[in-house]
């Protein structure tokens, strides 16, 4: 039996406890979920380093999952564009049961290995790409099939599971174990396991974007100012990063088309063309562009 399916006798009388005790039990589980990331940092680091050259070469980041794992993956994927301006065409979620399963249960979809293989083929996954497969138990047929198919096509594959000995961890090139143990409600992996997977993806995608040059001095400098709130955030960023006056900041943002990195270099004295060339020369890394 997988670790995530086991019953924890400590919670045998959970349904007889009062509300504060139930909340305390679930809260304790959430703390354990986050703690489970500590031993996984080395493998997560390997995943980031393995993904970097592929994504620098124009590859796409794929996620594959079913049920809670797929929904957690979709949340991480959807946040890459607004936070880091990662191109939407270069991130894709292979969800068992399709997009409809993000909101509604798709019974039996997680067992369809053929759907996973077809999804990988239809997406044209290849050697420049990265696929993250998530399954709390590490046994989900859809996710495992997607990982195997992507690996056969030369993609970097990362398997994230919450059960020791899970086959997914061995079928992927890099296996990341999040040892969360049994849930307070046996088998309800939206709890500890779901939290641990979400935190793992937060760490992975954030570190990846930092290493790709989309963060500078703790700011999301690849963010494009597309609405009033983001315009105000961009202005605050530029004032902090350059010390320029608000009027100069607004003028630079206008010249840069709302792009913060370009605006920083414009405020440093470069014209827009020079600023773009500098960023291109340094692979989009603003720190290197300002020094070079």
Q: What is the pLDDT of residue 3?
A: 65
Percent residues over pLDDT 70 in the chain: 98
Q: Mean pLDDT, the chain, as a whole number?
A: 92
Q: What is the pLDDT of residue 101?
A: 78
Q: Bigger pLDDT: 144 or 189?
A: 144
Name the residue among 86, 117, 32 with its Cα closest to residue 223: 86
Residue 219's alpha-carbon distances to 214, 239, 261, 267, in angstroms, are 9, 12, 11, 17
128 and 31, same structural domain? yes
- Given a cut of 90, whether residue 42 has pLDDT beyond it is yes
Q: What is the pLDDT of residue 167?
A: 97
- Reading the block at residue 249, the tokens are 């900041």
The model's pLDDT over 77-123, given as tens digits with 9 standing for 90+, comes to 999 998 999 999 999 999 999 888 787 777 788 889 999 999 999 99
Largest Cα span, the chain: 69
Dihedral over Cα of 18, 20, 23, 24: its sign: negative
37 and 62, same structural domain? yes
In a domain, 104, yes or no: yes
281 and 190, same structural domain? no
Q: Is 93 helix (H, G, I), strand (E, B) or coil?
A: strand
Q: What is the pLDDT of residue 140?
A: 95
String of DSSP letters for 44-58? HHHHHHHHHHHHHTT
pLDDT confidence band for 39 (50 / 70 / 90):
very high
Q: What is the pLDDT of residue 1?
A: 67
Q: Are 265 and 279 in contact (CB under 8 A)?
A: yes
> Which of 12-26, 43-57, 203-217 comes out lowest in average pLDDT?
12-26
Distance CA 165, CA 177 (A): 9
150 and 88, same structural domain? yes
CATH number at residue 250: 1.10.8.1080
- Reading the block at residue 224, the tokens are 């494009």
> Which of 57-61, 158-162, 196-200, 227-231 comes out lowest in average pLDDT?
227-231
Q: How far apart are the first and last CA of the chain?
A: 57
Q: What is the mean pLDDT of residues 263-272?
A: 94
For 28, phi and psi rounded to 5 degrees? -60, -40
Which residues, at least 6 apart from 41, have a Cβ–Cβ distance to it below 8 Å? Answer: 203
- Name the one residue in this structure whose structure tokens are 């924890």: 8
Q: Which residues are catalytic?
A: 79, 110
Q: What is the pLDDT of residue 279?
A: 94
For 100, phi and psi rounded to 5 degrees? -60, -25
265 and 152, same structural domain? no
In a domain, 282, yes or no: yes
Instruction: Indicate the number of domains in the chain.
Output: 2
Q: What is the mean pLDDT of residues 137-147?
A: 96
271 and 205, same structural domain? no
- Given a cut of 70, whether residue 5 has pLDDT beyond it is no
Which residues, at least 6 apart from 121, have a Cβ–Cβ distance to it below 8 Å? Answer: 149
What is the extent of the structural domain holding 168?
A: 3-211
């Amino acid at each position: 039996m997988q670790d995530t399916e086991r019953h924890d006798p400590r919670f045998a009388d959970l349904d007889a406890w009062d509300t504060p005790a139930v909340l305390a039990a679930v809260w304790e589980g959430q703390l354990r979920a986050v703690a489970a990331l500590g031993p996984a940092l080395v493998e997560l680091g390997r995943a980031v380093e393995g993904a970097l050259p592929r994504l620098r070469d124009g590859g796409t980041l794929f996620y594959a999952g079913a049920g809670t794992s797929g929904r957690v993956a979709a949340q991480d994927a959807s946040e890459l564009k607004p936070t880091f301006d990662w191109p939407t065409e270069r991130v894709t979620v292979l969800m068992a049961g399709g997009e409809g399963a993000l909101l509604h249960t798709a019974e039996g979809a997680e067992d369809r290995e053929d759907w996973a293989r077809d999804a990988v083929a239809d997406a044209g996954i290849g050697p420049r790409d990265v696929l993250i497969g998530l399954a709390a138990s590490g046994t989900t047929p859809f996710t495992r099939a997607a990982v195997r198919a992507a690996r056969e096509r030369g993609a970097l594959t990362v398997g994230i599971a919450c059960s020791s000995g899970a086959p997914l961890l061995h079928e992927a090139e890099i296996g990341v174990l999040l040892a969360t143990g049994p849930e307070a409600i046996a088998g309800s992996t939206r709890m500890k396991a779901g939290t641990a997977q979400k935190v793992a993806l937060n760490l992975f995608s954030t570190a990846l974007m930092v290493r790709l040059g989309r963060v500078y001095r703790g700011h999301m400098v690849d963010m494009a100012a597309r609405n009033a709130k983001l315009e105000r955030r961009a202005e605050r960023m530029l004032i902090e990063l350059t010390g320029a006056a608000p009027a100069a900041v607004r003028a630079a943002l206008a010249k840069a088309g709302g792009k913060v990195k370009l605006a920083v270099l414009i405020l440093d004295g470069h014209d827009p063309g020079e600023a773009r060339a500098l960023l291109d020369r340094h692979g989009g890394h603003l720190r290197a562009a300002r020094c070079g």
